[in-house]
Amino acid sequence: MLIEKNVPLESCNSFRIVAKANCMVRIASLTDIETIVAHPDWLGRSKFVLGGGSNIVLTGDIKPLVLKVEMKGRRLLEDNAKAFIVEADAGENWHDFVAWTLEQGYPGLENMALIPGTVGAAPVQNIGAYGVELQDRFDSLDAVDLQSGRMFTLNAAQCAFGYRDSVFKHSSSSIGLAGRTLITRVRFSLPKLWKAVLGYADLERKIFESGIAQPSAQQIFQWICDIRRSKLPDPLVIGNAGSFFKNPSVTPEQCADIIARDPKIVYYHLADGSVKLAAGWLIDACGWKGKSVGNAGVYEKQALVLVNRGGATGGEVMTLAKAIQTSVYERFGIRLEPEPVVV
């Protein structure tokens, strides 16, 4: 097994931040994981799992051994009365997997088209867009405990999915699995009784403009790609990690208090009685759209996305993020929480 030294990570993170992995190993099979877990040089030492690198901010070189997940494969496991059960290996590109499911005639993931990253990283974040979250289509996943080498399977309840959250984002001091787990395969349950999810304003606009009242999954996939391309920067052109902050939840009282001061605020009522505020609007209202700190900036078309204007360091990104958090807190009394993992 080849352990590469001083590996440049610029092309391995969607922010395109310059940093190195002191040591990196490419994981292309379960055997590779077994080998590295049992490797005498790395026994008991911390490891860092890297998928597509689309949800991380690198603030320096990575000292733990980097495990670059490159396992590929996707397959139909089961075709039962209710659903297609489809499985993909962790190193598959998420968008390519979504496109493949649609080509095979298994709809259900179309609203999550073009989300950057890998299949293995998708449950960590419980990725979601345009009214569908990974947990809505999730069946189960296989993973490896990097300390013991033990393989295990988790169902949705065991993954403890929340809004951009799961058991994989919490450290092992609580009940979490962060820092000690490598997800190897993910299975999805794509219901045969497919129903289009069209509740978002951007999609309603597409229906209105096209005159297509009952779009197919393929049509929705195309619309989502068009919408995302029109307002989110392509990481291959401008480095970024998608939404940089989570949309904060507040109580109806807190929301009423903000509306009294800022009647234009964008918010959504959630089923549990709380209110979700559009973080992009809060940041925009504080005048950040298009602004920069050093080489890190706020995207011109969507204030929720921080971008690398060329040569930005992770430190510059975090300085900008903190300045945004401070101004949103001072104006609205709301603490924005970053979505990406800061390394």
- Looking at the annotation, which residues are catalytic? 164, 243, 339
Pick between residue 302 and residue 308 the one whose CB is nearest to ligand EPU. Answer: 302
Candidate residues 280, 297, 314, 338; the one interacting with ligand EPU per rule CB under 6 A: 280
Cα distance between residue 139 and residue 189, in whole Å: 5
Verify binding: residue 13, ligand EPU, rule CB under 6 A: no
Kindly determine how many residues on this chain lie close enough to bind ligand EPU according to the rule CB under 6 A.
16
Handedness of CA 247, 248, 251, 252 (dihedral sign): negative
Candidate residues 7, 129, 190, 307; the one interacting with ligand EPU per rule CB under 6 A: 129
Count of H helices and E strands in the chain? 10, 20
Chain mean position to CA 120: 10
Verify binding: residue 303, ligand EPU, rule CB under 6 A: yes
Give the CA angle between residues 45, 48, 54 to the nearest 5°: 175
Near ligand EPU by CB under 6 A, which window of 19-27, 44-52, 278-286, 329-337? 278-286
3-state DSSP assignment of residue 67: strand
**Residue closest to 298 by CA, chosen among 322, 265, 320:** 320
Candidate residues 97, 130, 138, 188; the one interacting with ligand EPU per rule CB under 6 A: 130
Residue for token digits 């659903």? 83
Residue for token digits 């920067």? 233
- The nearest distance, CB 126 to ligand EPU, in angstroms, is 10
Candidate residues 23, 156, 183, 304; the one interacting with ligand EPU per rule CB under 6 A: 304
Candidate residues 140, 243, 308, 313; the one interacting with ligand EPU per rule CB under 6 A: 243
Verify binding: residue 284, ligand EPU, rule CB under 6 A: yes
Pairing of the two strands 249-250 and 275-277: antiparallel
Near ligand EPU by CB under 6 A, which window of 65-73, 165-173, 239-247, 320-328? 239-247
- The nearest distance, CB 334 to ligand EPU, in angstroms, is 14
Helix (H) or strand (E) holding 98: helix 94-104
Verify binding: residue 278, ligand EPU, rule CB under 6 A: yes
- The nearest distance, CB 10 to ligand EPU, in angstroms, is 20
Neighbours of 23 (CB within 10 A): 19
Cα distance between residue 319 and residue 301, in whole Å: 21
Pick between residue 32 and residue 202 the one whose CB is nearest to ligand EPU. Answer: 202
User: Contact, 59 vs 314, CB < 8 A?
Assistant: yes
Residue for token digits 């490598």? 182
Q: Is 179 left (phi over 0), alpha (psi -120 to 50) or beta?
A: left
Pick between residue 266 and residue 341 the one whose CB is nearest to ligand EPU. Answer: 266
**What x-and-dash track marks residues 320-339 binding ligand EPU by CB under 6 A?**
-------------------x
Candidate residues 72, 289, 291, 331; the one interacting with ligand EPU per rule CB under 6 A: 289
Helix (H) or strand (E) holding 260: helix 252-261
Verify binding: residue 302, ligand EPU, rule CB under 6 A: yes
**Binding residues for ligand EPU (CB under 6 A):** 129-130, 242-243, 246-247, 266, 278, 280-281, 284, 289, 302-304, 339
